[in-house]
Structure 1
């Protein structure tokens, strides 16, 4: 396949995989991708996944890439806190929840960190659309809090919760109490129950 034909077929893809290319052209050889990288047409993100060199790697694009290169996954934890403006500082890595093994990719586009949740806890995320026909999976603010505290079980005291520097005003704008505790029931975890209740009381009476 010539590059002009390839570009026409995949021009609407934010990120494309070798498997997707082979589904269009079964005889396509990986060496073509190496040639196109050398010519500056495309960039490799991780093994088997690429973007066009002119693709602007803004936050939305990075979120979609994070979902694609290690699926199933959704953005959660610290990056979701930052997305919802629950914390004041920026986050350097794209943090995600996955039902697969914990993994970390350091790439030219940035660092992608994936933490494992049991398959029955893989819920509570929204499909957020951007541009035209593009989207990424983002934890709801309620689920991001639960995911974070579930996997950071050492956070259990009032001063631990204060160290998170959660913006109280924004939290009460973004987080629905009934939704938070409804999701909490699905975790069926007594330790998390106790810590979330303490966290919520600490935030409410700050």
Structure 2
């Protein structure tokens, strides 16, 4: 590992943090490119990198990367539901929500997908998650489910929605029953969406 990288303990880093460590170099940006070519850095997008040696010995902090790669954003939809154990299968795309425009990053370590949500809906229902690297911003279980339905289940009736969630996505009905009903209603009032209204009504009847 290049000595400049040893000063940084996290496995992800942006160019703004790196450039001060490279102030002795005439052209730091060219040097960053050489670090990428040599494999010491993995470029996820222009100006954002993983430090190769650090991810060899620790899990890749997908959630923190999701927060930092594009934002403001929070982890939501399938990735968040998997984190909370509401869906049984592993998820292979890090799914997030941002009030910036929708965007997808295909990187050497996986795909990071961001859905646009208006700022009036964005702020409610966020929490701090935790992994081996530290904390990250994630939707509450209720917000993650509402985001999923809002973006991917529009125009479904109540029956089709439940089939999609329980049979298609294999969400356990008992887990749906245990969601915080008051929090669901709080989020529903901000979304003003027919499919979200349907979801909250159906869960209320379980």
- TM range, smaller chain: 0.7 to 0.9
Unaligned runs of 5+ in 1: none
The runs of 4+ residues in structure 1 deviating greater than 6 Å are 57-60
1:17 aligns with 2:22: no
Match of 1:47 in 2: 46
Aligned residues: 197
Among 187, 192, 197, the residue aligned to 1:194: 197
Partners of 2:184 and 2:30 lie apart in 1 by 49
* Cα distance, 1:89 vs structure 2: 2.2
Unaligned runs of 5+ in 2: none
Verify the 8 A CA contact 1:150 1:192 in the aligned structure 2: yes
TM-score, normalised relative to structure 2: 0.84
Partners of 1:59 and 1:184 lie apart in 2 by 35
Indicate how the Cα distance of structure 1 residues 190 and 15 shifts in structure 2: closer, same or farther if over 3 A, else same.
closer
Q: Give the superposed CA RMSD.
A: 2.4
Give SS of 1:126's match.
strand
Following superposition of structure 1 onto structure 2, how do residues 163-182 of structure 1 map, counting pairs within 5 Å? 163-165=164-166, 166-173=171-178, 175-182=179-186
Following superposition of structure 1 onto structure 2, how do residues 115-194 of structure 1 map, counting pairs within 5 Å? 115-123=115-123, 124-131=125-132, 134-152=134-152, 153-165=154-166, 166-173=171-178, 175-187=179-191, 189=192, 191-192=194-195, 194=197
Give SS of 1:8's match.
helix
Give SS of 1:16's match.
strand
TM-score, normalised relative to structure 1: 0.84
Indicate how the Cα distance of structure 1 residues 59 and 150 shifts in structure 2: closer, same or farther if over 3 A, else same.
farther
